[in-house]
Structure 1
Amino acid sequence: MLAMKALIGKQVELTISGIKTKIQGKLIDLGSDIIVLHNGKKFLYIPLLHLQQLALAEETALDYDNSIIHPEPPFENQTDISYRKILMNAKGVFSEIYTSGNQSIHGYVTSIMNDFFVFYSPVFHAVYIPMQHLKYMIPYDSNVTPYSLTQERFPLSPTTVTLARTFDQQLKKLEGQFVILDLGEHPNKIGQLKSIQNSLIELIAADGETVFLHLDHIKTVHLP
C-alpha cells in the first residue's frame, strides 16, 4: 500500500473488473478499500475490490488538463478515507454510479445498511445495490441535478419499504413482488420474486418458467 501511495499526484491507468476500457487520470487519494481518481473533469471513487491493475500511465495516452494541479475532492477531507465513509458523505449528493452492463445510474444515495445501500434514481426509483458490486461512483457539483430537473419535478422520495440490515434479508421482504434484477439487462432477470433461500433466488419469468439465480451475482434490485 505504501508503494501505491507514492503514486498519489501522478497520472495512472486502472484496469477494473467488469469495465472493458482502462480508466485513466490523476491519483488523488488512497484508502484501505477505495481509490480516488480525477480524470481531468470528474472525480471517480473506485472500491479497491474491483482493481485488477494500477500502473503509471503514458503521458501521451492521457487527455488530462494539467492546469488542474490540486483539484479539490467534493467530499470533506478526511485523513483516512474508506468506502463506507465515502458512501456516508455521498448521501444526498447527486452522483453517477456504475455496477455492470451498458448503463450507469444517476441519482442519490439515500440509505446505507450492513452490506448494501439504497440509491434513488428518477429512472429506476429505489435501487438496492450490494456494496460488493459498485465499480465506481462519480459525485457531481452541488448545482447539478439529474437531467436538469427541478426539485419540484424530481422530489427525493426514499423508498417506503422497511429496510433490513442485510441484502438477503431485504430481498426476503420483497418475496411475492414483481422485481427487476440487474436493471433488466436480461429477460430472465425480470419477474416475480417467489422466494430466496440458501442464497438462491427463485424468480418466475414472463413465460411462467422458474429461474434460479445466486444472490452473490445480483448487482441491483428495484421495483418497476
Structure 2
Amino acid sequence: MKNRQPLLGQNVELVISGKPELIRGKVVELGQDILALYTGTQFMYIPLIHMEQMRVFQMDNDRAIIPDLPFEPYNEPISYRKILMNSKGMFSEIYITGNQSIHGYVTTVMNDFFVFYTPVYHTVIVSLQQLKYLIPYEPHVTPYSLTPAQFPLKPSPLTLARTFDQQLRKLIGEFVVLDLGDNPNKTGVLKNMEQNMIELATANGDAMFLHFDHVKSIHLP
C-alpha cells in the first residue's frame, strides 16, 4: 500500500460495483482493504474489493474543513473488520444491493458476515464480501427520528453460526428474503443447499436455484 499513500488528502472520484452514481470525496484514511472518504457532509467507508475505478481530480478553492473522524484514530492502518467492530451500536447507513441503502445498527460481527438491525427489515445478515459502503452518522441522529423506546437496539433473535454458509444452512425450512427482496424470485422457503446451490420454493411453489456466492444478504420477514 506504500505506493497508494500519496492518495491521502486527495480528492477522488470512484465507481463502485453495483452503484451507477459516481462517488466523490477526499481520501482521509486508507488501509489494505478499506478506503475512507469525506464527501463534504459525511464519512464513507468503502471496502476496496468493490472499487472498480478511481481517479484523482482537482477542485477549485478546496477549503472544506474535515470534522473529527467518527472512530478513534488508529496507531496502525484501518481495516474493514476494525471499522465494522467500532461501528457496532452506532447508527449507520449501509449499501448492499439494488437502488437503495438501509439504515440501522451493526450488532454482531462474525467470521465472514455481520448482523445489521433496522426498523424496516429488522435483523439482516450481510455477507462481508457484499457490503459496498458504510456511512456512520452523528451520535445524536437516530433512524427516522425514532426514540429508543420506539426502536430499541436489541440482539438478534437468531442463533448465529460462525460463517455465512453455516448460517444459511441453519435457516433451511424457514421463509426467507434474499438480497432485501430486490427480485421476487429471491423470496420463499429455503429448501436446501447443496454444493453452493441454494434451492428456494417461490410463491407459486416452483423451485428456484441460486448460487451461494451471489447471495448478498438474508433476513426473515
2:116 aligned residue: 119
TM-score (structure 2 length as normaliser)? 0.96
Distance 1:199 1:158 in 2: 29
Task: Establish whether residue 19 from structure 1 lines up as the match of residue 19 from structure 2.
Answer: yes
What pairs up with 1:62-77 in 2 under 5 angstroms?
A: 66-68=63-65, 70-77=66-73
Distance 2:64 2:199 in 1: 53
What pairs up with 1:158-197 in 2 under 5 angstroms?
A: 158-197=155-194
Distance 1:115 1:35 in 2: 19
| Paired-residue identity, % | 57
* 8 Å contact from structure 2 (residues 40, 64) kept in 1: no
Question: 3-state DSSP class of the match of 1:86?
Answer: helix
**1:41-90 CA distance string (max 9 Å, x none):** 00000001111122112426xxx97331x432101111221000000000
After TM superposition, where is structure 1 displaced by more than 6 Å over at least 4 residues in a row?
Answer: none
Name the aligned partner's letter for residue 46 of structure 1: I
Distance 2:154 2:118 in 1: 9
| CA RMSD, 1 decimal | 1.3
Gaps of 5+ in 2: none
What pairs up with 1:34-53 in 2 under 5 angstroms?
A: 34-53=34-53
Name the aligned partner's letter for residue 91 of structure 2: F
1:146 aligned residue: 143
2:203 aligned residue: 206
Q: Which moved more, 1:173-182 or 1:10-19?
A: 10-19
**1:155-201 CA distance string (max 9 Å, x none):** 11221211000001001111101000111111100100011121111
Distance 2:56 2:199 in 1: 45
Distance 1:65 1:156 in 2: 39
Question: 3-state DSSP class of the match of 2:129?
Answer: helix
* 8 Å contact from structure 2 (residues 178, 187) kept in 1: yes
Distance 2:199 2:220 in 1: 16
User: How far apart are 1:17 and its partner, in Å?
Assistant: 1.2
Distance 2:169 2:9 in 1: 45
Distance 1:206 1:89 in 2: 39
Gaps of 5+ in 1: none
Distance 1:158 1:220 in 2: 18
Decide whether aligned partners of structure 1 residues 211 and 169 sit closer, same or farther in structure 2, where only a CA change above 3 A counts: same
TM-score (structure 1 length as normaliser)? 0.95
Distance 1:141 1:101 in 2: 25
Question: 3-state DSSP class of the match of 2:213?
Answer: helix
Name the aligned partner's letter for residue 182 of structure 2: E
Name the aligned partner's letter for residue 27 of structure 2: L
Question: 3-state DSSP class of the match of 1:75?
Answer: coil
Name the aligned partner's letter for residue 136 of structure 2: P
Question: 3-state DSSP class of the match of 1:179?
Answer: strand
